[in-house]
């Protein structure tokens, strides 16, 4: 299973369709709701309501940034471990 963090344009169109498709294909999806929009705030909110909890989680940038920091730290640690362990550096 793949984890995906999504931002984008047109929450009510492209983002909504992509969220449904990715979830149907087995991905775990998180939307950064402040990093997308629609032609009106109402369309944006309605689209988020239609896909939240059924297809995806929705987070604010303040909630998602600490998670991204943790992922980056894990990736950096793995990369260093691989280089130092395998090549003797």
Least confident of 14-18, 20-24, 75-79: 75-79
Residue 8 to residue 22: CA distance in whole angstroms: 14
DSSP 8-class letter at 13: I
Helices marked H in 1-89: 16-24, 41-51, 61-87
Does this model's pTM top 0.85?
Answer: no
Residue 14 CB partners (closer than 8 Å, separation 6+): 8
Query: What is the model's pLDDT at position 79?
Result: 61
């Amino acid at each position: 299973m793949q984890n995906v963090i999504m931002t984008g344009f047109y929450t009510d169109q492209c983002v909504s369709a992509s969220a449904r498709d990715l979830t149907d294909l087995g991905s775990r999806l998180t939307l950064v709701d402040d990093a997308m929009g629609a032609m009106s705030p109402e369309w944006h909110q309605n689209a988020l309501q239609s896909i939240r909890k059924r297809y995806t989680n929705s987070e604010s940038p303040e909630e998602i940034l600490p998670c991204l920091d943790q992922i980056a730290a894990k990736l950096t640690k793995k990369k260093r471990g691989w280089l130092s362990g395998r090549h003797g550096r």
